[in-house]
Amino acid sequence: MSTTTVDLPLVASGKVRELYELSGSPQPALLMVASDRISTYDAVHPTPIPDKGKVLTGLSVFWFAHTAHIVANHLISATEGVPDAVRGRALAVKRLEMLPVECVVRGYLTGSGWKDYQASGSVSGVALPAGLRESARLDPPIFTPSTKATSGHDEAISIEQAAELVGDSDLMHQVAEVSIALYSFAAAHALERGVILADTKFEFGIDTNDPSRPLVLGDEVLTPDSSRYWPADGYELGRSQPSLDKQYVRDWATASGWDRMPPAPAIPDEVVEGTRERYIDAYERIAGEPFSAWLTRTSA
């Protein structure tokens, strides 16, 4: 499987990222390294997607820079303290105490939200008007948190349940408000670049090192792994949409007959290449620069 080893103490390993302890920084810091691994339905495929980790990292940095007026984020640097071997795919970040919830915002009715709506007329308990069609725009966008399962599938929960998990209702309502503000800002920016941001997921943490304990945006942000991005010119109500994200691989995985139980199957070459193209296309459309500019900026 695709991992680049770094000579630092390993703190945690997720489906896509490795976290290492970074010393020599004035505050507790981590090196967050995005691999080229890809997961669908919470299982990691044995086939890497070349450059994927660099796309995710470059896009996260783009969005951290453009959303800092909305909420503080964990980015320290994409170069300083980042070992040569992982330049472009790694970030030095503030170590946070992560909130145990995934903060999903939906601006369009698709995926599990569409399924939920068809069955119940609502999404994660948020009632919606009757008669909406697949891929309908939701205005205003809705906040539909889920659990952050350490293994297996995340589960949709209400904001009250999320508040209970977080242990602070005021904080959870602030998180919901900030999530919606981030989504709305990013969706407007993306649309100017011809891309629909259908939905996305944020993860927040608390900077316990700061006496004011501020809310900080962590993890990856607004990437094609954590979001659904659709080319605006291909949008048509009443069906699923062509996408610049993982949906392409999910569609292949479903058509392959895989039962969604681990182990996930190997991905054929043409699907690997198709996925890589979509991820790089997402970077270039949204950041408005060639992907090579990111590689050059972060090269050792």
Ligand X SMILES: Nc1ncnc2c1ncn2[C@@H]1O[C@H](COP(=O)(O)OP(=O)(O)O)[C@@H](O)[C@H]1O
Compute the Cα dihedral for 37, 42, 45, 50 and give only its sign: negative
Query: Counting contacts by CB under 6 A, is residue 153 touching ligand X?
Result: no
- Single-letter code of the amino acid located at 127: A
Write down the least CB distance from residue 15 to ligand X, Å.
Answer: 3
Candidate segments 92-100, 243-251, 254-262, 280-288, binder of ligand X by CB under 6 A: 92-100
Write down the least CB distance from residue 86 to ligand X, Å.
Answer: 14
In 3D, which of 144, 142, 143, 149 has the Cα closest to residue 100? 149
Give residue 90's Cα distance to chain centre: 15
Query: Counting contacts by CB under 6 A, is residue 30 touching ligand X?
Result: yes
Helix runs in 150-225, H state only: 159-166, 169-192
Task: Extract the runs of DSSP E, i.e. beta strands, from 35-179.
Answer: 39-40, 43-44, 72-73, 75-77, 90-94, 97-98, 101-108, 122-123, 126-127, 137-143, 146-147
Which of 134, 245 has the CB closer to ligand X? 245
**Cα–Cα distance between 50 and 52 in angstroms, integer?**
6
Which of 100, 274 has the CB closer to ligand X? 100
Query: Counting contacts by CB under 6 A, is residue 72 touching ligand X?
Result: no
Write down the least CB distance from residue 145 to ligand X, Å.
Answer: 14
Among 2, 8, 14, 100, contact with ligand X (rule: CB under 6 A): 14
Q: Parallel, antiparallel, or unpaired for β 43-44 and 39-40? A: antiparallel
Which of 18, 134 has the CB closer to ligand X? 18
Candidate segments 8-16, 64-72, 168-176, 233-241, binder of ligand X by CB under 6 A: 8-16
* Count of chain residues binding ligand X (CB under 6 A): 17
Write down the least CB distance from residue 234 to ligand X, Å.
Answer: 28
- Residue 286 phi, psi (nearest 5): -75, -45
The answer to whether 235 and 241 have CB atoms below 8 angstroms apart is: yes
The answer to whether 173 and 159 have CB atoms below 8 angstroms apart is: yes
> Mask 217-246, x = binds ligand X (CB under 6 A)?
-xx---------------------------
Query: Counting contacts by CB under 6 A, is residue 145 touching ligand X?
Result: no
Among 62, 205, 217, 278, contact with ligand X (rule: CB under 6 A): 205
Q: Which residue has the tokens 């891929």?
A: 135
Candidate segments 14-22, 53-61, 107-115, 153-161, binder of ligand X by CB under 6 A: 14-22
Query: Counting contacts by CB under 6 A, is residue 74 touching ligand X?
Result: yes
Which of 98, 293 has the CB closer to ligand X? 98
Query: Counting contacts by CB under 6 A, is residue 15 touching ligand X?
Result: yes
In 3D, which of 43, 37, 153, 139 has the Cα closest to residue 89? 37
For 129, the token pair is 């008007």
Query: Counting contacts by CB under 6 A, is residue 19 touching ligand X?
Result: yes
Contacts of 13 (CB under 8 A, 6+ apart): 19
Binding site for ligand X (CB under 6 A): 14-17, 19, 30, 32, 74, 93-96, 98, 203, 205, 218-219
